[in-house]
Structure 1
Amino acid sequence: MDLKLARTDLDAKPKKIDLAKIEDKVAKEESVIFYFDRENSHKDLLALQDHFEEQGKSFYMNEVKYGLSDNDYMYQVHIMS
């Protein structure tokens, strides 16, 4: 599963990260926060949630608005041991 990280510039394309890299970061730290781009499907993020909850991790996801437009948002995902 590949997910797109949040853009650092409005005109830039989002960078991709795969599940193995996410798992590696979660294994190294007790608490990790990721910011994912709005182009990710909600279904993929829910699949990510199911994956980590099956491993006994706590998973919190929020939509973060950073502008006035309906398209100015990203997903914040917090994964904890």
Structure 2
Amino acid sequence: MDLKFARTDLDAKPKKADLAKLDAEVAKNDSIIFYFDRENSHKDLLELQDHYEAMGKSFYMSEVKYGLSDNDYMYQVHIMS
């Protein structure tokens, strides 16, 4: 699974998200929100959902629009214990 964090600058390339790093952050916090780039496939995000739900976590995902263009969006993922 190859995930990318949301861009901090429109011209920048998105940084890759390591599943082990995400797991460490989720283990430290009862509730955490991640923002993923629009380049991620919906299938990969659904696999991420299956991964955390199998661990007994609640997983909520939504699209966040930040501009008027159809390409101006990111995915918001909220993971809770």
Q: Shorter-chain TM-score: what band?
A: over 0.9
- When normalised by structure 2's length, the TM-score is 0.98
* Aligned mates of 1:21, 1:2 — CA distance in 2: 13
**1 CA distance for matches of 2:6 and 2:40?**
10
Partner residue, 1:20: 20
**Count of aligned pairs between the two proteins:** 81
Question: How far off is 1:17 after superposition?
Answer: 1.1
CA offset digits 1:4-60 (Å, max 9, x no partner): 000000000000111100000000000010000000000000000000001100000
Q: Which runs of 4+ in 1 moved over 3 A?
A: none
Report matched runs for 1:65-80 at 5 Å: 65-80=65-80
The aligned residue for residue 45 of structure 2 is: 45
How far, CA to CA, are the matches of 1:17 and 1:51 in structure 2? 15
Q: Which blocks of at least 5 consecutive residues in structure 2 are unaligned?
A: none
Partner of residue 35, structure 2: 35
Whichever residue aligns with residue 43 of structure 1, its letter is K
Aligned-CA RMSD value: 0.5
